[in-house]
Amino acid sequence: MKRDKKLQWIKEGYYMASKDGIKNLNVESIGRNINKNKSSFYHYFGDIEIFETELLEFHVQQVEIFAQLAANCERIRPDLLNLFIEHKTDLFFHKQLRINRENQAYKKCYEEAFIKLEQGIMNKWTDFLGLNNQQLFSQTFLNLISENFLLQITHKSFNFEWLNNYLEEVHAILKQMNSKK
């Protein structure tokens, strides 16, 4: 019961951070959204730093779930793209970590989560790009594309069509690179 009430705070804070940024989180807004008062927050977390630490741990757990589901996807299109849409909040929270990576805790969480994400999608990514004999290049390319992807996603445009078009652009870039050889 206590865990469920505490989780309400974490899930709402996570969602709000994914939309408005981690730095814009405040106890009053989160409490208002879940109909709880500030004293409830301080009962569960003590202070905002502990809450933030738990948000980061929650993110890593969410990415682990995503990575497991991604590993079970048959194809990038439509399976993995639909999974991205289902886990939109996780991706946008991850974007916030990337934006605010000057904070060492955010940077560490971002890197830990990315490794898990990479493990979940790497085989499908490599197959999709036809880079089965170039694992290191595939991994490096994923790192570059991920950075660009996080910079480009917006709440307004994040849908299947946009993801599919982005994937087409990535594929076209790789084709251009290969034709220059």
Report yes or no: 27 and 48 within 8 Å, Cβ to Cβ: yes
From 112, 102, 101, select the one nearest 59 (Cα to Cα): 112
16-51 pLDDT, tens digit per residue, is: 999 999 999 999 999 999 999 999 999 999 999 999
Q: What residue ranges do the domains of the chain occupy?
A: 2-179
2-179: what fold?
Tetracycline Repressor; domain 2 (1.10.357)
pLDDT at 181 over 60: no
Q: What pTM value is reported for the model?
A: 0.95
Q: Is the dihedral of CA 68, 107, 30, 152 positive or negative?
A: negative
| Rounded average pLDDT over 5-25 | 96
Report the percent of the chain where pLDDT is more than 70: 98
Q: How far is CA 64 from CA 61, 90, 113, in A?
A: 5, 11, 8
- What is the distance of C-alpha 37 from the center of its chain? 29
